[in-house]
Chain A
Amino acid sequence: MGIVSRGFKGRRSEGPPDRVPPGQHLTDDFPVLSAGPTPHTPLEDWTFTIEGGAEPLSWSWDEFQELPSETITADIHCVTRWSKLDTVWEGVSVDTLLDRVEHEGSYLLAFCDGGYTTNLPLEHVTDGKAWVAYGYNGQPLDPEHGGPARLLVPHLYFWKSAKWVRGFALRDEDEPGFWESNGYHLLGDPWQEQRYWGD
């Protein structure tokens, strides 16, 4: 327990303890965090590419829509300490994408419009743990929330769910992405409170 702050009572909006990780509070809003301007890539120019396999692989927007999609209901947790329960997304499982690539990588670096990157161990994005999402609440995903498509890795802090994602580079080693090079944890497990370097 920390130092008691005189007269602080709090509003106790922390939510069910098995669903809201330590240090988080619930919000009904959907706050936005980005490091730069919101990109607006026309769908006809959009591709999703996987590099680092035996053969490079790329889908156009229309081809990507043809891939089997799933509806995902998930709780999300932002490192800035808000959590939002039961968010509903539509997208393609990362398993579906990686199944089409012959590779020996252990990590991926997701790359995005605007130059943003984030790194993930493959074991954290396979077996139904991650998606490339293009729908939110039954609607196309808004640009400010990462549309046309963003990564969705709900079991890690939400900066890992990179907005405006355009592809994966498969890697043998874990290479820090954008926030991971700027003070944030390499993995970002909210249940371990892996917020910053050294956590």
Chain B
Amino acid sequence: MAGAAVLGRLTWLAADVIGAAAETPRVRTLRLHADEWPGHRAGQHLDVRLTAEDGYQAFRSYSIATAPDDELAITVERLDDGEVSPYLVDELREGDRIEVRGPIGGYFVWDASERGPLLLIGGGSGVVPLMAMIRHRAGTGSSIPARLLYSSRTLEDVIYRGELDELAARQDGFELFHTLTRSQPEGWAGYGRRIDAEMLREVAWPAADEPQVFVCGSTRFVDTAADGLVAIGYEPQSVKTERFGATG
């Protein structure tokens, strides 16, 4: 369905905010309903358009957080000097309306019908498109082995924490590895440093298993993770990356 949808012109659709929930003090998930949304694949993003009363418009791109079969949602991190993200995180309310256009992107996508295993590496809000893949895997009852290595500053900054814990507790082949780079709570059993080659060697499957790899986060995070995977033998072309710059 999404494949056919991108063949035609992507038009702006009115999207009602049908729910808004804080994920962390800086991050919020907006559940959206757009009547003519054509569907999406896990990992794709959409464009948001906001219009002020005088006609001024601002545009940004956000990863879609939900599985293809689920309702549409985006998860947005507030950038303090941003133009759009503070509005989406702090001001927008249930019942408000924005405009969206999408889905966009045919590369950083994963479908549960593809072979595994699946290696996901996310930094901060870079976990969002990876979560769409994790939710898609869970929702389709897939038994493809999947691992998420997820780097956050503190425990408080971990997005989707409860849901990730619950999915990992199912022991259906999904494994969760956290690293907290800034501070770790007492008794923390996960990693407590920035991602590095040694961590990747411990978490990643051997390159010979030919995992599908998706890495998303800041430029520095993605470069470190991607370079580390290449250093432990991964083919550069097997590592799909999405980097985000702080653009508000």
Question: Chain A residues in contact with chain B, CB under 8 A?
Answer: 1-14, 23-25, 27, 29-39, 80-82, 114-115, 144, 178-179, 181-183, 196-199
| Nearest CB in chain A: distance from B215 CB, A | 9
| Nearest CB in chain B: distance from A24 CB, A | 8
Contact B51 A36 (CB under 8 A): no
CA distance A180 to B227 in the complex (A): 26
| B229-241 contact mask (Cβ, 8 Å, vs A): 1 or 0 | 1100000110111
Contact B97 A25 (CB under 8 A): no
> What are the residues of chain B within 8 A of A6 when measuring CB–CB?
93, 96-97
Question: Chain B residues in contact with chain A, CB under 8 A?
Answer: 6-10, 12, 14, 47, 49-53, 55-61, 83, 87, 91-93, 96-99, 104-108, 219, 223, 226-227, 229-230, 236-237, 239-241, 243-248
> What are the residues of chain B within 8 A of A11 when measuring CB–CB?
58, 83
| Nearest CB in chain B: distance from A158 CB, A | 12
Contact B246 A198 (CB under 8 A): no
From A197, which residue of chain B is reached at the shortest CB distance? B6
A-B contact pairs, 5 of them (CB 8 A): A3-B51, A5-B92, A8-B91, A80-B247, A199-B9
From A29, which residue of chain B is reached at the shortest CB distance? B245
- The total number of A-B Cβ pairs within 8 Å is 134
CA distance A6 to B52 in the complex (A): 8
Contact B247 A38 (CB under 8 A): no
> What are the residues of chain A within 8 A of B98 when measuring CB–CB?
3, 5
From A8, which residue of chain B is reached at the shortest CB distance? B50
Contact B236 A114 (CB under 8 A): yes
- Given A5-B96, A31-B247, do A23 and B229 touch, yes or no (CB 8 Å)? no
| Nearest CB in chain B: distance from A141 CB, A | 15
- Given A23-B59, A114-B236, do A38 and B227 touch, yes or no (CB 8 Å)? yes
Contact A31 B99 (CB under 8 A): no
| Nearest CB in chain A: distance from B240 CB, A | 7
